[in-house]
Chains A and B, each alone.
Chain A
Amino acid sequence: MVSAMETAVNPSVRSAVRKYFKNIYQLFYSILEGMAVTFSYLFRRPITIQYPYKLDKPMDEIIPDRFRGILGVDLRYCIACRLCQTTCPIACIAIDLERNPETKERFITRFDIDISKCMFCGLCVEVCSTGTLHHSKIFDGTSRHVENLVLEFVNTPVRPFIKPKSIEDIPVDRSGAITRNKLKDFFDLPKFRLTDEA
């Protein structure tokens, strides 16, 4: 009888008993709380975009501005520096230049980007000083033949963009912000190229 009473007041036994019942309480309390959380999700809007089937907005508005889509080239401003070609780690950009032997004029005769190889790292876009090369918001380049994914931007030979006389040198700026600031009037690029001037 005495030993039973001693056990009853033994603090270690008491704490074990308390822990036992606390575990049961916490089991029910935490499960109910967790189920309240999951139940509330039944009434929230799913964030899935059902891409080709149901779109409430055009895809261009859904995609964020800094999206790295398929590369685009605005040949009006290409200075044919070939920085993009040398930067590309997998050599998916091919640029050819030809010189007219009589007039000594240079022409861009080829500006090909192999989208099937491109890994959308964006190094070429970073290095382009005039903003010629840019990411578009297009991402669905499905094709039956892999050759179709080689984008040829030059149809007829184009003369490279020549900088205005008043500028001494081409500014070395990785994002091309200074160049773009100086040549703002000429630009007809998507808006996101012009917003990060500051």
Chain B
Amino acid sequence: MKAFADKLFLNIFHIQAADSPYLALWYVLMMFLVSFILLNFAALFAGIASYVERRIAARMQNRIGPNLVGPQGILQWLADGLKMFLKEDLVPQTADKFIFRLAPYFVFAGLFGAFVALPFGYGIVAADLNVGIYYILAITSLVVVGIISGGWSSNSKWALFGALRSAAQIISYEIPTGLSLMLVVMLAGSLSTQSIIESQGGWPWEWFVFHSPFTLAGFFIFFISSLAEGNRVPFDLPEAESELVSGFNTEYSGLRFLIYPMAEWANLWVVGAMVTLTYLGGWQIPGVRLETIPSSVLLFLISITIFFIKTLAVVFIVIQLRWTLPRVRVDQMTLICWTYLVPIALICLIGTMIWMLAFPWKSVFGTAIRILMSTVGGSVMIWCMLRARHNYVIDKDRFEKLKGIPAWYPPWKLP
């Protein structure tokens, strides 16, 4: 980022930035510009993701979803946000007013701070921190502070229940998250997000998921526990609307309430990007060497596109999981963490260490195992698709007999 700012300064003013007296001012200006772009990206993504999720959810339940505001309802999220703006900002009389007002900022800062270290393409990252992964883990922990203080200061039973569940959940799931990220850190030998991606490759058998059976398990552990940390279904216990009214944000209204769901939608991108960059090869282009990317703008764009496609695929799976699975019970939630994820993550940690010693990255056996595992992974995906097709075919005749119209209605055919 600093190099980019220097280069831009040179291109605009034709002097080295280091020689200029306005160096600090220029850096501050660039910082504001970058944070403006990142915040807008996160907010836009949060809004559009909410709309897309509602459309996908609707199609999974034989409905259509919001389609009236704007063409095909694309402006629904703006309408929702505007509605929230116009609502009265209520603070309960018995609430701890200062903390009640403060809590949404923690959630906001915690989630949007993670965007600083997330890459978007080759060399495109706001700050390529050498402790990137550690920074993201640490700053997203601020969210739980916001949730607990928001739930506690509301002075409401439901909010307090939600906040305590959240405390139990998020703090215990930090451990498998951290342990499963350790595998990647060991393999890459770095905590920086960019160099983790650079140490992988473009083809699926060069990704860290398929490095060994241990990293495959680590991938699933990381995916599950980041779902739990983001309060997504099936781990949405802190805001279980059928048990607690709305969980920790019961007493919030208006713009303060809007921060919570918005941070949750933005968290979708954080989860998707983290899974992509750690295990799924990030922005690596298949068949293109790293050194050739800076020479061409096209390759830059392709790397951005690949990163976006992978991230959005993960986001789609997260959304689909939400509309597939029921919520787990509280005891099941802790059981999954402490008897399954943590021990398996520890085993994977040791297993990966041994594997790295026994079968180095470039050895024949290591490569063979990687190719075999990626083939198996691909076959599982194909099997899943075939099962989906089977499910469609067995219901198609019944539908057509009942309705007399073809049942085929793919998602790109908008109703």
Contact = CB atoms under 8 A, between A and B. Distances in A.
Given A31-B324, A35-B320, A41-B62, A46 B384 contact: no
Interface in B307-326: 317, 320-321, 323-325
Contacts of A42: 56, 59-60, 410-411
Contact of A33 (B323, B339, B387, B411): B387
A120 to B, nearest CB: 25
B contact patch SS = helix
Contacts of A38: 60, 320, 323-324
Interface in A117-163: none
Q: Counting chain B CB atoms within 10 Å of each CB, which of A33, A38, A42 scores highest?
A: A38
Nearest to B340: A24
B7 interface: no
Interface residues of B, number: 40
Interface string B382-408: 011101111110010001000101111
Contacts of A40: 388-389, 391-392, 395
Given A32-B387, A36-B391, A40-B388, A47 B325 contact: no
Contacts of A28: 220
B61 A41 contact: yes
A154 to B, nearest CB: 42
B347 interface: no
Contacts of A23: 340
B131 interface: no
Nearest to B389: A40
A37 B324 contact: yes
Contacts of A39: 320, 384-385, 388
A89 to B, nearest CB: 35
Contacts, number: 88
Contacts of B408: 43-45
Contacts of A32: 380, 383-384, 387
B409 interface: yes
B17 interface: no
Contacts of B383: 32
B58 interface: yes
Nearest to A23: B340
B406 A44 contact: no
Contact of B407 (A24, A35, A44): A44
Contacts of B387: 32-33, 36
A64 interface: no
B288 to A, nearest CB: 31
21 contacts: A28-B220, A31-B324, A32-B383, A32-B387, A35-B317, A35-B321, A36-B384, A36-B391, A37-B388, A38-B323, A40-B388, A41-B59, A42-B59, A42-B410, A43-B392, A44-B407, A45-B407, A46-B64, A47-B62, A48-B64, A48-B415
Interface of A: 20, 23-24, 28, 31-48, 50, 53-54
Given A46-B58, A50-B415, 12 more contacts: A36-B385, A37-B388, A37-B391, A38-B324, A39-B320, A39-B384, A40-B395, A41-B60, A44-B392, A44-B407, A44-B409, A54-B415
Question: What 3 A-B pairs have minimum CB-CB distances, sorted nearest first?
Answer: A36-B387, A40-B391, A45-B409
